């Protein structure tokens, strides 16, 4: 079972690293979140803390933990890092939903006004 998880993590990391990405003015790769189609910059954890958004920090932490798991960790650390990876996924999903609600997501068009005939 652990080998299957490692393979999935390796595949996800390889896809993320190989994906064609735009580069912003500061030299950071810009990717689009697969769930919410929100653009984010690919940053190290330190860069995300100093210069990134909350979502960019969550992605950086997730990538860092996934790399640690992929490279192998002690059995003592495996459970806590795996649990944190799952929590980060949930945190990312919540941050993406908040971003969409604030108008930063895919649906940036204003809602149409309804008139009395539409009801």
Tell me if 119 is assigned to some domain.
Answer: no
Per DSSP, 112 falls in state P
Q: Tell whether 29 is covered by a domain.
A: yes
Q: What is the pLDDT of residue 15?
A: 54
Give the DSSP per-residue string, 23-66: E-TTS-EEEE-TTT--EEEE--HHHHHHH--HHHHHHHHHHHHH
User: CB under 8 Å to 68, separation ≥6 — which residues?
Assistant: 81
Report yes or no on whether pTM surpasses 0.85: no
Residues in the chain: 119
| 114 located within any domain | no
Domain span at residue 94? 2-104
117 assigned to some structural domain? no
Coil/strand/helix, residue 22: strand
Q: What is the pLDDT of residue 102?
A: 79
Give the pLDDT of residue 105. Answer: 46
With left for phi above 0 and alpha for psi between -120 and 50, is residue 27 left, alpha or beta? left
Residue 110: inside a domain:
no
Angle at the Cα of 67 (from 97 to 105), degrees rounded to 5?
Answer: 15
Nearest to 61 by CA among 35, 43, 79: 43
Assess if residue 98 is contained within a domain.
yes
* Local confidence pLDDT in tens for the 119 residues of the chain: 444 444 555 555 555 554 545 776 677 777 776 665 677 788 899 999 999 888 889 999 999 999 999 999 998 999 999 999 999 999 988 988 888 787 754 444 444 555 556 55
d(CA 76, CA 102): 40
């Amino acid at each position: 079972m652990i080998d299957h998880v490692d393979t999935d993590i390796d595949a996800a990391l390889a896809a993320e690293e190989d994906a064609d990405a735009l580069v912003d003015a500061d030299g950071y790769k810009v990717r689009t979140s697969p769930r919410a189609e929100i653009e984010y910059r690919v940053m190290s954890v330190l860069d995300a803390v100093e210069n990134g958004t909350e979502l960019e920090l969550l992605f950086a932490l997730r990538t860092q933990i996934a790399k640690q798991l992929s490279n192998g960790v002690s059995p003592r650390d495996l459970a806590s890092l795996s649990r944190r990876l799952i929590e980060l996924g949930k945190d990312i999903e919540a941050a993406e939903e908040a971003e969409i609600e604030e108008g930063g997501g895919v649906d940036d068009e204003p809602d149409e006004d309804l008139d009395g005939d539409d009801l």
